[in-house]
Amino acid sequence: MKLHCIVEDAGIARAAAEGGATVIQLRLKELPTLDVVERGRPVAEIARAAGVTFVVNDDVEAALALSADGVHLGRGDQGKELARAAGLMLGVSATDVYEAIAAVEQGADYVGAGPVWATPSKPDAGAPIGLDGLAAICEAVRAPVVAIGGIDASNARDCIAAGAKGVAVMRASRDARALRAVVDAAAR
């Protein structure tokens, strides 16, 4: 869970894998499942070839069709039961301690906590939780917590210091090498 790179295409997936991403998450919002599967095939191949965990965002059916390792669902997304029944690793988003606890109680293998800071990648994400909110979530759940939202090489270390087991990035996915170095150093 160290470096979770959220990608929309194969080019970014390749850069993330070459830079040391430990998880590649395909995020294609608002597309029908068939389009996610079609556009996700090369991303899945890159992840498999690199030995990187492959996760699909929001779409359990696409995750199954792509033989993904897991699926990441938002707080209101459907499919947690199907994901668990299919044996997919399940990540769930949380913006506070209560949501994080509920996610783990409902079977989440990891919690995506945030946004830690404001992010242009997801302008509707809600108010930032900051490092204090991240630390509270990390203390409240036994599952690994991955910090998300406004994270880059300048602040990833702070997220690990707050208790996160990893960071998730979208804009910074092309800079995976620098981020991986920061996360590895912070985890020591």
The reported pLDDT for the residue numbered 145 is: 98
84, HSE (Cβ side, Cα atoms, 13 Å): 13
Q: Which residue in the list 93, 165, 173, 180 is annotated as catalytic?
A: 93
pTM of this prediction?
0.95
The reported pLDDT for the residue numbered 77 is: 82
Residues in the chain: 188
Q: Which residue in the list 122, 157, 174, 177 is annotated as catalytic?
A: 122
Residue 122 has pLDDT above 80, yes or no: no
Report the distance separating Cα 164 and Cα 144, nearest Å: 7
Please report the domains of the chain, with CATH numbers, ordered by start residue. Answer: 3-187 (3.20.20.70)
Least Cα distance to 16 among 126, 164, 177 occurs for: 177
- Can 122 be counted among the known catalytic residues? yes
Mean pLDDT of the chain: 95
Residue 125 has pLDDT above 80, yes or no: no
Taking only the tens place, the pLDDT of each residue in 62-115 is 999 999 999 999 877 889 999 999 999 999 999 999 999 999 999 999 999 999
Q: Cα separations (Å) of 17 from 11, 101, 117?
A: 10, 31, 25
Alpha helices by DSSP H, the chain: 10-19, 33-50, 60-65, 80-85, 97-105, 130-140, 156-161, 176-187
Residue 6 has pLDDT above 80, yes or no: yes
CA 29 to chain centre: 14
Q: pLDDT-derived band of residue 134, with 50, 70 and 90 as boundaries? A: very high
